[in-house]
Amino acid sequence: MAKIHKSPWLLHYDGSSCNGCDIEVLACTTPVYDVERFGVINTGNPMHADIFLITGGINSQNEAVVKQIYDQMPQPKVVIAVGTCACTGGIFKECYNIKGGADTVIPVDIYVPGCAARPESIIDGVVKGIGLFKEKAAALAAQSKA
Amino acid sequence: MTIQTRVLFAVLYVVLTPFVIGLLDGFDRKISARMQGRRGPSVLQPFFDLKKLFEKEFLTANKMQLFLIRSYLCFIVLSGIIFFAGFDLLLVIFSLSTAAMFLILASTATHSPFASQGTSRELVQIMACEPMELLVAVGFYLATSTFTVSDIVTKSPVANIRFLPGFFVGFVFILTIKFRKSPFDISTSHHAHQEVIKGVTSEMVGKEYAMVTIAEWYENAILLGIVGLFFVSSNILTVIGAVIAILVVWFLEILIDNTSARVKWQLMLKLAWGTTIVAAGMNLFLLEIIRG
Amino acid sequence: MGQFLPFSKQVLKNLFSEPATTQYPFVPREYPERTRGHVDIDKDSCILCGMCMRSCPPGAIKVDRAGKTWSINRFDCIQCGYCTEKCPKKCLSITPGYQEPGPEKFVYMVEVPYEPPKPAAKPATPTPSQS
Amino acid sequence: MQELKTDLFLIDKAELLNIIMEKKNALWRLCQICCSYPKAEDHFEITYSFANGQELANYRLIAEREEEVPSISRVYKSAIYYENEMHELWGLHVENIKQDFHDKLYRIDVETPFLEKEEKNDGE
Amino acid sequence: MEVLVTALICFPFLWAILPAVIHNSKRRAFTVYLGCGIVMVLSVFTAIQWYLAGGQTLDFRLPYQEAFGEIFLWGDIFLMCFITYLSYKHNRLIIAFLSIISTVVPTILEKFGPELPAGPTMRFDWLTFIMVLIIGVVGSLIGVYAVGYMHGFHIHHHKEVTDRRSFFLSMIFVFFGAMFGLVTSANLLGLYFFWEITSVTSFLLIGYTRTDEAINNSFKALWMNLLGGCGLAVAISVGIIYFNTANLYTLIAAAVKTPTKMLCLLPIAMLAFAALTKSAQFPFSGWLLGAMVAPTPSSALLHSATMVKAGVYMLIRLSPAMADNYVGNMVALIGGFTFVAASCFAITVSDGKKVLAYSTISNLGLIVACTGCGYEETIWAAVFLVIFHAVSKSMLFQCVGAIETTIGSRDVEDMQGLMSIFPKLAFILMVGIAGMFLAPFGMLISKWAALKAFIDTSSVYVSTLMVMFICFGSATTMFYWTKWMSKILGASKREKSRDLTKKNEYISMFFHAFMMISLILGFPWLSEHVLKPLSNDMFGVVKQVISYENMVIMIVLLCGVFVIPFINYLLTKGQKGKKVITYMGGANAGDNFNFVSATGDPREMDISNFYMEDLMGEKKLFTPAILISSFIIVVYLIIVVGGALQ
Amino acid sequence: MGNRSVVPFGPQHPVLPEPVHLDLVLEDEKVLAAIPSIGFVHRGLESLTSKKDFNEMVYVAERICGICSFMHGMSYCMALEDIMNVEVPRRADYLRTIWGEMSRLHSHLLWLGLLADGFGFESLFMHSWRLREKILDMFEASTGGRVIFSVNTIGGVLKDMPADMLKDFVRQLDEMEKEIRETTAIFLDDYTVKSRLVDIGIISGEDAIRRGAVGPMMRASGINVDMRKNGYGAYNDIDFEVITSNKCDSYARCEVRIGEIFQSIDIIRQCVAKIPDTEINTKVTGMPNGESIIRVEQPRGEAFYHVRANGTKFLDRFRVRTPTFANIPALAQTLQGCQYSDVPLLVLTIDPCISCTER
Ligand code: NFV
Ligand code: SF4
Ligand code: SF4
Ligand code: SF4
């Protein structure tokens, strides 16, 4: 069995989602899906986090919060938009209070579609994120050497 | 003990601790995961984590934090050297609490709500543990008439646990606090989320957090060393017994961690002090009577 | 007062039994047949009526009658299945297997071979759905 | 008080506080306050719902666009959320709410989104 | 030597007249500076003289001893009348009663009792040497500081209080004289006189502002100290009646010789009782706390840094006579208990001065416990602590006073971020706090020695209890100091503002800091050349209290505390880190001091430490603490008195 | 300010998966004042009525929340069926009841897990969620979705459950019941858990009424209120007792919810035994015109649906008052004087669902 060894720590924030994607994100950490197999820990503290899982279409009140949390994460960092809402705004994109998609607020690296995004799909997203994280780390190392 | 052996032990401590304790930590995570019905990460995960943390960009809310954390690490290592080189046990404990002070200063330097709340709790934890730690030293003194670690080992014909069961119980109890295990994991959350997020370490980024982790490993080595001290005697073979004892205690801590909820600091303080007074106090009293 | 560490029995049992974890990314997951993964089109029977486009709540489907394409933005679809219900030809279906996550949002487009019988065979403005 | 349909009574502003006090003393619980602005009728309809056990009673107050409605938050504390919400989303004027969030209950960019919608539709 | 000592005692008394009569503030300040300078020089000179002469214990009589005897006698009576008058005026007759009893009995005995043999009345030995230095150096620095502070107090801050600075400053000199007299007297009658003077001066100083609270507290101090005076009076009476002597050392020797004879222990017990009141141990700690109403630090620090030392001094003197007997046990238990209880209370208060007061009581508790144990190690530790405590407390009090003047509050919570706005003050505060509890400094070494000694104490109960007291006490001590320290180092909310601290205050504080650091660095020397001969004198044995090995470790730790952070500081200075705002769950309003509140507006964030009032607050535990400690004292006194009367 | 702390709590906070913000005033760790703020998940989906027609709104209603999504869809449909006078086939009622109770099961298990996470009992959290996964598997097998089901339609349901599937579910539930019993026993018996729950966050029955609390929050204060007793769906055929507790504290709320887990299993069994064989939906035609108020017992309590239609395909008003919204004033009261470490727990004991609350 191939292994994916890295230690990307997750930060999950609900940017006005319906909750469905959030519980699926949480479900990923529980026994059946257990993302800790890849060294993933759900930290909840942006200062320690590497991967930002954002769900929901971001409302006005959340916008500043999301930006702030994003800024508090040290480089290299990967943002994964989980769920259709976070990808495009989904069914809520016409609501008066929804910005529509996490990428309207912060740069998103991986989109995980689905309503609700399935745990398998989230795992795929995270694994892709890990790959991206590796690349970014290498780029950062090269940059700091230069 | 000759100066050479002292140096040897000190060097071994400094060099091996990160590997040994790191590995134990890895197994800890694996076992915890299995207890929860999960597969868990690889046992080398703690090392991957460390590597990653050192590679992260350095963000800081207050520059002072970094040097305080480095001082914390240095002091812990220094205390460990005093212990493993076989010097005075009481001084080890005093210098450990000095080290803790650096951690506390580091975390309050940022004026962050979670770090500060965590710091206050960390202080309570230190306060809850300190009497028992000092009493352990007292216990060894009662049993062997010396505070010196090397003498405790070489001068006791039988393992001191025979005289110090109460002290041992008390010490294992506060180990749960020291290892930041579940019922008492109140100032930093190693496991399951809590109100103060990461508490003391909330504001520590990348390498700062890595250093705190390493410092914790060094500290755990000392604590496990003290557990071992209960079981060794001048007979070299008792070392095996000590290692087994350490592993058993370590496993017990994992089990407790996985079978209890985090309590509040008031209850922790009461329980810790209560246990100290009852277990260690009784033992102390009896030993004093025996000594006359 | 309560019991002390009553959970240890179960915890120890878990420790010595097989974990519940699936081996997901290494062993593919099998889905029950009803799983709503993604919307598929049987492009041969589509008549480009646009019913699906108008009914889709998030507006994920685009039907281009002139260009003869039917496209869906799977990053926008919420797998509600309303389009499948509304499609007069029942050429849409919702099947297991979800859209792979990726760094870009893209639109999945199919060319529909349908030939409209005569121009202006359809009313220009659709009546509101379900009256 | 006039019964519109089962469990729905039309009341006027003067009656409101009496009814509220009555309900409070009989230990009814406030279920909700709902504000709506039916296009056709061009006034606010504010529906107060109370429940006691499985029982339900609704009272409806009619208010014009700029009319002020008394707050019941001094009798039913939990009304503050409903009343603030009505004020913020509909622009209904509620007189001295016990804890006034001053349009910051939800921090939204659009002012009174629900009513604006109405206006736009009216204009169409 | 005799002359020097006499000068040391008399000079301050005489000099005290000057500030009292000079009312021009410049000139008065000058006289005070001069006086303090002379006192300091004189005391240091005396001490060095003695040291160079070989450090032998000197027993001698004062020149004109008889004349002095008369002065003491009439002085006592004068004080009694004075107190009686005051207590009559303020309607507190119980105080008059205490005063009269405690004065009349010894006076009558002296006048009409048996003729006492004329022996030496003074003694100068190692302990005296240390005390003279403390009083001379620390005391006179306080004097210097007081001039500047009192100026600020009246001119800038408390215009409503009548300016009685002349009186205040002259009282300080009276106080010096009394303290010098106290630590050199061997004759209990002389000692008693000086003892009463310190009680009365402190009473007057506490009541300085003449507010109701001040007056109440001053009377509280008075009655507690007078109660101690009664103890002293009883000791004198017993000495004269049963042992035909009023010499302290004779009494001690008697007790050391026959420790099982209760009669011999009785005067020791009484003296110890007096000393407990003076050093503000539970249940008599109230007066020291009350003393904090006096114009901030000056009188407070007089009390904490020097006056309480009178009690401790007495106990150290007595300690050979207290080894493993009832009196010793009583003193040790009271001390240990005070150590724990007071440090718990110190956790629950946030007023800087109160924290210092409680920590004083608590530290004194540790010293008292050490003396009660009566072993070489503990005496070694006790003396050590006395020195450290005097310097660091005096420094801390001055510093808190200066901070209060500058930032307008002495609440610990308001000292947030002091390091970045007033680094000089903060530095002094840090040195003081570190000196009180950090790893290799004073407290630690003493704890080490005390623990060792208590384990070896023969009484099982006392030993067990004392070990527990020390272990718990050191945990609680750590708590309140660390939380204070962390407050100072935190991020600062205030704007930088002008430092209002006077030059002379700084001179005094920096001198203290300098002393502190040299004491720390010179501690092996101190141990070898001062403390060792001291315990040698007292116990006649030379024992290496702290092994060479541990000495090395402590020095390593010591360097560690200074060097490690410093090196790390240098190493990390160049580190470039991106500045980031602190984590507040995304609610940071952008500047680390405000957060976006529930109503969407920025709200100021406040962070405070734990005070645990529910757990160990004064309200909850003060009365029980008083009851327990009173119980201990009463039980032991009954044992001793009962035993003596049998 | 003396020794008071004024600190924010949230919105981003790992204890609560959803954004909740509180301003806390603390003394040591005692909460002197707590001001909750809502609006971090406010999307404004009630206003979508002007953009989506009443049929599409079914899918919007489902997405009010991912936990109680089924019941939102169901109550919305019930409201419209009421307005349009549609008689729902009996089998559809039964199926709705079964899915509804399964929702309650999964919601309560989820809550138990979050509660365990809140008091730092990681392995208990993992256990509860592992058990919950089985329910989700059942959902997936029957509806095709794990959390959002899209099986409701105005006039009935879209998917049927064949008899063997129902039997299989009952069998699985029987198996699970034992495990659930073992796990929930820990919540009720463990010393450390009890130290976090017993006598924390007391709210008396009268206070609960005054503040308009609903659901388990109310039942844990000894008030017998359960909308299922109104007899919508198949509940009038089902035999069940409302579970209440008189302890009024967090422990009672835990107790009530645990009781409801077993009750739900029992109701599902009864439904499976009694389910009639009819159509699963009826064709609905025409435009809604009228007004309806529907109250449904959600996992968290009574949800209040107020729908007003005006004869066009766009509704006039679609108003949902969710149970969490009603419980917030009660929460604010329990927060007074609690400990800082109780704050997340007390927030959790109302079983908050912010996306429901703020819609
Ligand atoms: N139960 C439920 Fe809901 C609804 N309605 C509630 O607050 O969960 Ni999302
Ligand atoms: S994508 Fe669907 S399930 Fe996820 S948050 Fe949005 S509406 Fe909810
Ligand atoms: S399933 Fe729903 S969202 Fe997806 S295309 Fe069809 S109608 Fe649109
Ligand atoms: S509704 Fe069906 S037939 Fe019409 S365009 Fe869509 S897929 Fe084609």
My answer on whether omega of the bond before A76 falls inside 30° of 0, hence cis, is: yes
**Would you say A75 and A133 are in contact if contact means Cβ atoms under 8 Å apart?**
no
Cα separation, F346 vs F338, in Å, equals 9
Q: What is the mean pLDDT of chain D?
A: 77
pLDDT at B224: 92
Domain boundaries of chain E, sorted by first residue: 1-321
State whether residue F312 sits within 8 Å of chain D by CB: no
Contact B104, E438 (CB under 8 A): no
CA distance F329 to A105: 33
The enclosing H or E element of B96 equals: helix B89-108
Side chain identity, residue B155: K
- Give the pLDDT confidence score for residue E304 in this predicted structure: 67
What residues have CB less than 8 Å from F355, skipping those under 6 apart? A14, A16, A17, A18, A19, F18, F41, F64, F65, F66
Which conformational region is residue A3 in: left (phi greater than 0), alpha (psi within -120 to 50 degrees), or beta? beta
Average model confidence (pLDDT) for chain E? Answer: 82
The pLDDT confidence band at residue A2, using thresholds 50, 70 and 90, is: very low
For ligand 4, atom 5, the nearest C-alpha belongs to C48
CATH of domain D2-118: 3.30.460.80
Identify the three-state secondary structure at position D9.
strand
pLDDT band at residue B221 under the 50/70/90 scheme: very high
Q: What is the pLDDT of residues B98-144, one digit of tens each?
A: 888 888 888 888 888 888 888 888 889 888 988 999 999 888 888 88
| Residues on chain D touching F358 (C-beta within 8 angstroms) | 106
Q: Cβ atoms within 10 A of the Cβ of E527, count?
A: 18
pLDDT at C127: 46
Chains near F (3 or more Cβ pairs under 8 Å): A, B, C, D, E
- Alpha carbons C49 and C127: distance in angstroms, whole number: 12
Percent of chain E residues topping a pLDDT of 90: 0
Question: What is the reported pLDDT for D124?
Answer: 36
**Residues of chain D neighbouring E600 (CB-CB closer than 8 A):** 104, 107
Sign of CA dihedral F170, F173, F175, F178: negative
Q: How confident is the model at residue B215 (pLDDT cuts 50, 70, 90)?
A: very high
Interchain proximity C10–F183, CB inside 8 Å: yes
Averaged over B51-64, what is the pLDDT? 81
Q: What pLDDT, in 10s, does the model give residues A41-68?
A: 888 888 888 889 888 888 888 888 888 8
DSSP designation for F318: E
Segment D31-51 mean pLDDT: 82
What pLDDT, on the 0 to 100 scale, is given for residue C25? 76
Query: What per-residue confidence (pLDDT) applies to B218?
Result: 92
Task: Give D25's contacts (C-beta < 8 A, 6+ positions apart).
Answer: none
Q: What is the percent of chain E where pLDDT is above 70?
A: 96
Rounded CA-CA distance E316/F321 in Å is 76
Closest-CA residue to A108 (of A47, A36, A56, A45): A56
Give yes or no for a contact between C4 and B251, defined as CB atoms under 8 angstroms apart. no
Looking at residue D3, what is its pLDDT?
64
- Any idea which fold C48-112 has? Alpha-Beta Plaits (3.30.70)
**Which amino acid makes up residue F42?**
H
Q: How many CB atoms lie within 10 A of CB F59?
A: 24
Q: Which residues of chain F have a pLDDT value below 50?
A: 1
C35: CA distance to ligand 3 center in Å? Answer: 14
At residue B23, the pLDDT reads: 92
Q: Which residue segments constitute the domains of chain A, with CATH numbers given? A: 4-145 (3.40.50.12280)
Is the pLDDT assigned to residue B36 strictly greater than 80? yes
Q: Are the C-beta atoms of E214 and E292 separated by less than 8 Å?
A: no
Contacts of E583 (CB under 8 A, 6+ apart): A45, A46, A47, A72, B112, B114, B197, B202, B203
Nearest chain E residue to A70 by CA: give it. E586
* A37 has pLDDT over 80: yes
CA distance E587 to E33: 55
Residue B223 pLDDT class (50, 70, 90 cuts): very high
pLDDT digits (tens, 9 = 90+) for C64-81: 888 888 888 888 888 888
Cβ-nearest to B40 among A36, A42, A48: A36
Please report the pLDDT score of residue C130 as a whole number.
Answer: 42
What whole-number distance in Å separates Cα of residue E160 and Cα of residue E141?
27
CATH of domain F45-358: 1.10.645.10
Cβ contacts of residue E386 below 8 Å, gap of 6+? E130, E134, E309, E312, E313, E316, E367
Residue of E440 and B156 predicted with greater confidence: B156
Question: In whole angstroms, what is the distance from residue E95 CA to residue E216 CA?
Answer: 12
Q: What is the CA(D83)–ligand 1 centre distance, in A?
A: 21
Q: Residue D4 has what pLDDT?
A: 63
Kindly indicate the confidence band of residue D123, based on its pLDDT and cuts at 50, 70 and 90. very low
Q: What gap in Å lies between CA E297 and CA E309, rounded to an integer?
A: 17
C92 lines ligand 4 (CB under 6 A): yes
Interface ipTM: 0.89
Within a 13 Å sphere around the CA of D45, how many CA atoms are in the beta-carbon half?
A: 23
Kindly tell me if the per-residue pLDDT of C131 is higher than 80: no
Q: Can you list the positions of beta strands (E) in chain B?
A: 59-60
The single residue listed with the structure tokens 């209440």 is: F244
What CA–CA distance (Å, rounded) separates B149 from E558?
21
**B77-98 burial by CB neighbour count: b if 16+ within 10 A, else e?**
bbbbbbbbbbbbbbbbbbbbbb
Is the Cβ pair A6, B48 closer than 8 Å? Answer: yes
CB contact under 8 Å between C34 and F144, yes or no, is yes
Question: Residue C87: CB within 6 Å of ligand 3?
Answer: no
Which protein residue has the closest C-alpha to ligand 4 atom 3?
A: C46
Residue E442's pLDDT is what? 62
Lowest-confidence region among E122-136, E150-164, E448-462: E150-164
> Is the Cβ–Cβ distance between A64 and A24 less than 8 Å?
no
Whether residue F42 and residue A97 make contact (CB cut-off 8 A), yes or no, is yes
Domain ranges of chain D: 2-118
CB burial of E298-322 (b: ≥16 within 10 Å; e: otherwise) equals bbbbbbbbbbbbbbbbbbbbbbbbb
Distance from C-alpha of B193 to C-alpha of F13, rounded to nearest angstrom = 9
Of A18, A94, A95, the CB nearest to F355: A18
In eight-state DSSP terms, residue C28 is P
For residue F249, give the 3-state DSSP assignment.
coil
Q: Which ligand is nearest to the CA of F297?
A: 1
Beta bridge partners of F8: F23
Given a cut of 50, is residue A1 above it in pLDDT?
A: no
Min mean pLDDT across A80-94, C114-128, E120-134, F17-31 is at C114-128
Sequence letter at residue D27: L
Please check the confidence at residue B248 and state whether its pLDDT lies above 90. Answer: yes
Q: pTM score, two decimals?
A: 0.90
> What's the whole-number mean pLDDT along residues E407-436?
82
Tokens 């009268």 correspond to: F206
- Report d(CA B192, CA F122) in Å as an integer: 5
Contact B41 A6 (CB under 8 A): no
Asked if residue C46 has its Cβ within 6 Å of ligand 4, the reply is yes
